[in-house]
Amino acid sequence: MHIIKIQEAETQGIFSLSEESFVFKDGRVQGAKLGKNGGALLVKEAQRFKLFSEGKDFLKILEGNGHFKWKKGETPFAPGECFEIEAAGEYEVNGSPKFLVVRK
């Protein structure tokens, strides 16, 4: 499992989806609004959101400062930062009210 910070230029346009292209269902998941577009999730209005991944996630923080938390540690983040998260199992995004996850 690893979480590493990457430059958005390294993502080859993975985060180029517009917010309007996401479909939001009524209701909330873990207190957040959750939008889906294929293998991508847009999480809005969350302060703490748990994810589970056995593959590779690319995550971009759109708003808020906070940290990732997983079984073996924490990693801080700031708005605009991008991360590659591989074989994480369960992890949390704490402090970001808006972020984008693209699963590969």
- Domains of the chain, CATH where assigned: 2-8+29-103 (2.60.120.10)
Contact yes or no for 44/20 (Cβ under 8 A): no
Query: What mean pLDDT is reported for the chain?
Result: 92
Whether 1 has a pLDDT exceeding 80, the answer reads no
pLDDT of residue 38: 93
The per-residue pLDDT for range 63-95, each reduced to its tens digit, is 999 999 988 789 999 999 999 999 888 999 999
* End-to-end Cα, the chain, rounded Å: 15
pLDDT of residue 87: 87
The per-residue pLDDT for range 34-62, each reduced to its tens digit, is 999 999 999 999 989 999 988 999 999 99
